[in-house]
Amino acid sequence: MSRYIFRTIFSALPTLIGVLTCVFLLTRLIPGDPALLILGENAPQEQILQLRKDLGLDQPIYVQYFHYLYQVFHGNLGISLRTERSVIKEIMDVLPYTTELAIAGIFVSVIIGVPIGVISANRRNTMTDFVAMTFAILGVSMPVFWTGILSTLLFSLYLGWLPAIGGGDPANLIDRILHLILPSTAIGMAASAITARMTRASMLDVLHQDYIQTARAKGLEELKVLYKHALRNALIPVITVVGLNMGRLLGGTIVTEIVFARPGMGKLLVDAIYARDYPQVQGVVAFFAAMVIIVNLLVDLAYSIADPRVELS
Amino acid sequence: MSRVLMRTLRDLFLISFVLVSFSSVGSTENILKARLLGNISTIDGAKINQVNDHVIAENVYSHLVRYKPGSVDIEPDLAVSWTISRDGKVYTFNLRKGVKWHKEFGGFTAKDVKYSIERTLDPKTKSPNAGDFSLVDKVEVIDDYTVRISLKEPYAPFLTVTLPYRAGWILNQAAVEKFGSEYGLNPIGTGPFIFDRYIPGTEVVLSANKDYYAGPPKLDRIVFKPISEETVAEIALERGDIDIMYFRSPEVYQRLKVKKGIVVEEKTGPGIYSLVFNIDKKPFSDPRVRKAIHHAINKDQIVKYILGGIATKGTNVLPPNFLSYTEAVTQYDYSLEKAKGLLREAGFGEGFKTTLYYSQLSPWPLVVPVIQEDLKKVNIDVELKGLEHASLMSFIRARKHDFGVQPMLRPPDPDMIFYLMFHSKGTFNATGYRSEDENIEKARVEMSLDKRKAIYVQLQKKVVEDSPTIPLFYLKVLVARKPYVKGHPVDLLNGFWGYSTYIEK
Amino acid sequence: MVKIRRSVAYKAFVKNKAGLFGAVVVALIVIFGIFAPLLAPYDPTAQDIPNRLAKPSIDHPLGTDQYGRDILSRLIYGARISLVVGILSVLIGILIGVILGLVAGYSGGFIDLLICKIIDVLMSFPMLLLAMAIVAILGTSLVNSILAVGISSIPRFARLTRGQVLVLKNTEFIDAVRALGSNPVRIVFLHLLPNIVSPIIIMGTLYIATAIIMESNLSFLGLGVQPPTATWGGMISDGRAFLRSSPWVSTIPGIAIALSVLAFNMLGDGLRDALDPKLKDEQ
C-alpha cells in the first residue's frame, strides 16, 4: 500500500516540474524586455541595466530556469509589480475563498448530480430519464457567468434573499455560507450535469451485474438494492470523475469570482492580467496548476483506498 | 425538581443573560459600513496616488492644515497658528501640543513634520507626490512644537493646496522604520481613526481613536468594503449591506435619485477628465492631428446620453470652479469637416491606427467605445486597451502610451493643473508638454492675486490652443446614503470625512 | 413485454429527435455566420447613441445596446466569432493532438512515456486558465483566441487518440498487416487512422461546444476579441451595468450561447449513436 502511495507521489513530481517549466517558458515569451515594461521607455539606461541584473535577465536562459525552480521550491513566487508584496502572500490571502468555493461547488454537483443519475438509471428510457438527461446537457451548455448573472438578478435583485457580492465576513460562518450559495450553485450546476451522466452510466453498468439480480431475487426492497449495493459500487468511477472534474471546477471559479465580486485566486489572476503584473500572473498560474496536480494525487490515493483492486496494477 | 435540573436551568439562564448583554453591547456600537471603489494598495502617505488609499489615509493621518470638511477652505489641524515671512518664502508653524500617535508611538512633535516632508522628497521613497514639494528648500525643527519650512521661491498655494492634500500627511518615523516594507498596511497616524484590520478583497476596518485631540469621533468603527462594480454597490446599498457610498455610474445615479429610502447628494467637483496625447510620438507630435481629433469628438453626445446628468462638458483644461477660469479659449466645436481637413493638411487624410489606454474605473469604460466610434468616422482606427485604475495612472505618468485618458482630481488651484500636468517636471505630465515651463513657474511664485490670474488666463489660452490634451468632461461628486447616516459632508477631493459622520436610527 | 418494446421505441425516437434538432440548429448557426453581412439588418458597430437601450421593436427586433447598436445584428456577427474560434481551435486540437496520440500510442516505450507526461502537464492547467495565460502573454486578438483555446484542447484529443490506438494496436487486423511487412508510417496512416476517425469526429463536435464556451469566457473577461467587434461573451459583460433597467442586453446573448452549445452537444451525441454502435453501451 505504501509503495503505491510512494509511486503515485513520485510520478506527480515530474508533472509538477513540467508545469513550472511551462510557466517559465510562457513568461519568457512575453514580447519586449520585462525591465523596459516595468520602468517605461523614458527611464535612464543605467536603471534599466540595473533592473535587468536584479531580475537575473542577463544570465543565460538555463541559469534563469534553475534559479526559477530553486526559488519556487523555496516558496518564493516573486514579487507582485502592483502591490510590491510577495506573490505567495497575495495568493495565501485569498486561497481560502477559492478553496471553499471549489469544495462547495463539488458538494452541490454531488448532491444534485448523483440522485439525478441514480433516478435516471433506474428509470432508463422513460420520460424522467429524458428530462433528466436534457437537464444535464443544458447544465453543461450554459456558461457559468451567465447563469451566475441570471441568478443574481433573480435571487439578489428581485427576491432579495441572498447577498449579491463578496465573500462574506470571515469571522461569521453563516455569512460566509450565505455568500457561497449562489456562486457554488452556478459552478455546481455545470459540474452536476457531468456527474449525473457519469453516475447514470456507471449505475447502468452495475445494475446489470449478477449480484444485483441476486439481491432482487432475494426479495430485498428496491431502495436498499439501489443504494446499498448498486450505488456503492457505482460510486468508484464517479469519485474519479468528481476528482478529475476538480480541474474544470477550479477553472470555473475564475469566472464565478468575477461575476460575484468574490475575493479569490481567479479575481487575483484577472486583476494581474489587466495590470500587466507578470510576476503575479506567472505565480497564480503555477499555483493553480499545482493545486490541480495535488487534487488529482489525492483522488488517486482515495481511489486506491476505496477500491482494493487498484494497487495490484 | 431534581437538583441537576435546577442547576442546568440556572446555567442556561446565566448563559442567555450573558449572551443578551453582549449582543446589546454590539447593538449600541455606532458602526458605519461604507463603500470603497476598489482595493487599497498602500496606506503609506508618501506613496499614495489613487482614490481608495486616499480615503483611508485621510481618516488615519492628519495634516498641518487641512480642508474644512466638505469644502476647500482651510483650517488648522496639527498646526494651531502660523506666520508667513514678508517675501513669502518662510512658513513658521506653531504646533498643537498633546497630540498622540496611534498605538503608543508617542507624542507628536516637530520632528515628525520634518521627517515626513524629507521622506517624501527622498528619491529612494519614489513618492508620486514629491513634485508637490519641489519648491521646498529646507525644513527646520525650531523646538518640539515649532517647525519652519523654507521655500526656494514663494509659492502662493503652499498653504491652501499642498499641505492639505496628499503630500501633507504627517507620518511617524519610528512606525515607518518598525514596519519597513509592511508599513503600507500598518499605517500609524494622528487622525481620528486607527487602521485596525485589513482583509484583502473584503474589508478595511478603521476604529475610533479615543485619544484624538479634538475628542473621539462619533462612530466606533468604519468598515470599508471594496466594491468595484457600480450596480453591485447599488444593490448593496439598497439591501443595507453598506450605509453610504460614493459612486460614478450614470445608470445608478438615475435610479437612485428617484428611489425611496436613499438620499443622493451631488456637487460639482474640482476634477477634469481628459484624453491625453504623448506629443513626442508621431502622429500626435503634429498639433493639427491633435486638433483634428478634438473636433472629431462629439462631447455633447457623450455628456448628455452616456453620462446622463453626472457631468458637464469639458471645454478648458481648468475646471470651471478654479481661480482664473476663463471661457475665452479656443472652442473646438464638433465638426467632422474641420477634423478631416486638418488631418488631410497634416498628411493623414487616409487616417492611421493607434491604441487608446483607459482605466477600468467608471465612467471610462462607458465613454471610450464612443470615442473609438467617433474617430472611426475620420479614418482613425482606435484599439481600446483597458487597464486597472492604479496601473493606468502609473502607465500614463510614465508616458508609455501614445493616446490615453487621464482623470485629474486635485485641489482647486490652477497650479495643480498647470504645474503637475503641463510642466516638464510635473509628476502628472502625461503628454510631454514643456513649452510653457517659464510661465508656469512665474505664476507659481507670483504672490499678487491679479498678476497670478493674468498669467493663468494666458496659460489657459495657450494650452487649449496647443491641445496636448482634450478636456472631455467635468464630473460631479456623487454620494448616495441611507437617511440615518448623518453629519456627512460631501467630500470634493476623494476623501471621506468620517469624524463628524454618525448613525442615527 | 409491452413495456420493453415501448421503451426501446421511445429510446430510438428520442435520440433521433435530439440529434436532428442539434444538426438543424448547428446548420442554422453556420448559415447565420457565413451570411452575416446579408442577414444582419444593421452594421454591428454602428452607434446610434440617442437611441440607446431601446426595447425590442419593429426597427430593432432585439433592441439596442448602450451605444444604440442593433442587438440582432451583433448577435448574428457574434455567431461568426464563436463559430470561427470554436471550429478552428478544435481543428488545431485535432491536428496536433491526433498526431501526438498516434505517435505515442503506436511507438510505445519511452516516446509514449514522454508524450504522456507532456499531456499530463498540459492537462494540469484548467482549460480556461491555460487560455487566459496564453492570451495574457500573446495579447488579445482573434488569432490568439483561436490559438489559446486550440492549445488547451490538444491534450484531450491526444489522450483520446492514444487510447484508441492502444486498443487497435493489438487486434488481429493490425497484426496481419504488420505480418505483411508494411512500414510503420503506412500502418499508422492507412490502417489505424481510418478506424479512429469516428470517435475523433464525435469528440470534435462535442469539443466545439466547449470551445464556444471558452471563447465566451475569454471575451466576457475582456481577453477575447476586442471591441467594437461583437462577441457573445463581450455583449453579456457590457450589458451587466444595465441589468436592472435593460436586462435583454445581457440575457439574449446568453441564450444564444446556451442554444449553440446545446445544439453542438446534441449533434455530438447523435453522431455518437449513429457512427459508433459500440459506444451505445453507455446508454
Q: How far is CA B457 from the centre of its chain?
A: 25
Q: What angle do CA B475, C246, B37 make, to 5 degrees?
A: 40
In the sheet that B79-84 helps form, which strands lie side by side, from edge to edge?
B79-84, B90-95, B146-151, B136-143
The band of B16, judged by pLDDT with boundaries at 50, 70 and 90, is low
CB contact set of B203 (below 8 Å; sequence gap of 6+): A169, B197, B223, B224, B225, B226
The band of C282, judged by pLDDT with boundaries at 50, 70 and 90, is very low
At B189 the pLDDT is 95
Contact A81, A38 (CB under 8 A): yes
Q: What is the pLDDT of residues C147-192, one digit of tens each?
A: 999 998 999 899 888 888 887 777 767 777 777 776 777 766 777 7
At B456 the pLDDT is 93
Size of interface A-C (CB pairs under 8 A): 139
The subunits that touch chain C, with at least 3 C-beta pairs less than 8 Å apart, are A, B
Q: What is the pLDDT of residues B167-191, one digit of tens each?
A: 999 999 999 999 988 898 999 999 9
Cβ contact, residue pair A142, C257, below 8 Å: yes
The band of B474, judged by pLDDT with boundaries at 50, 70 and 90, is very high
Cβ contact, residue pair C125, A281, below 8 Å: no
How many helices and strands, by DSSP H and E, does chain A display?
A: 13, 0
Contact B314, B273 (CB under 8 A): yes
Q: Could you give the count of Cα atoms lying within 13 Å of A8 in the half-sphere of its Cβ?
A: 21
Quick check: B464 pLDDT over 90?
Answer: yes
Grid cell locating B205 = 476596518
Cβ contact, residue pair C251, A125, below 8 Å: no
Residues of C in contact with B381 (CB under 8 A): none
Selected residues 148-167 of chain A with any CB under 8 Å from a CB in chain C: 149-150, 153, 157
Query: How far apart, in whole angstroms, are the C-alpha atoms of residue A12 and residue B206?
Result: 46
At C243 the pLDDT is 79
How would you label C115-149 residue by residue, b for 16+ Cβ within 10 Å and e otherwise? Answer: bbebbbbbbbbbbbbbbbbbbbbbebebebbbbbb
Which range is least confidently modeled, A71-75, B398-402, C124-128?
A71-75
At A198 the pLDDT is 77
How would you label A289-311 residue by residue, b for 16+ Cβ within 10 Å and e otherwise? Answer: bbbbbebbbebbeebbeeeeeee
In terms of Cα–Cα distance, which of B253, B235, B246 is closest to B488?
A: B246
Contact B329, B388 (CB under 8 A): no
Cβ contact, residue pair C67, B370, below 8 Å: yes
> Does any CB of chain B come closer than 8 Å to the CB of residue A57?
no
Nearest to A40 among B42, B228, B399 (CB): B399
Selected residues 139-158 of chain A with any CB under 8 Å from a CB in chain B: 156-157
Q: What is the pLDDT of residues A40-81, one digit of tens each?
A: 555 667 777 777 777 677 777 788 888 888 888 887 787 777
User: Cell 466606533 identifies what position?
Assistant: B220
At A39 the pLDDT is 63
In terms of Cα–Cα distance, which of A67, A82, A79, A83 is closest to A20?
A: A67
Nearest to A274 among B199, B229, B388 (CB): B388
At C280 the pLDDT is 44
- Residues of C near B (Cβ–Cβ under 8 Å) read 45, 47, 49-50, 52, 66-67, 222, 226-228, 240-245
Instruction: Calculate how close chain A gets to B256, using CA atoms only, in Å.
Output: 14
User: Which has more pLDDT, B173 or A220?
Assistant: B173
User: Which has more pLDDT, A164 or B370?
Assistant: B370
Residues of B in contact with A94 (CB under 8 A): 200-201
Residues of B in contact with A274 (CB under 8 A): 360, 386-388, 391
Quick check: B384 pLDDT over 80?
Answer: yes
Nearest to C282 among A21, A26, A201 (CB): A201
At A192 the pLDDT is 83
Cβ contact, residue pair B251, C241, below 8 Å: yes
Element (H, E) at B417: helix B414-422
In terms of CA atoms, which chain A residue is nearest residue B205?
A: A169
Size of interface B-C (CB pairs under 8 A): 42
Cβ contact, residue pair B42, A169, below 8 Å: no
> Does any CB of chain B come closer than 8 Å to the CB of residue A160?
yes
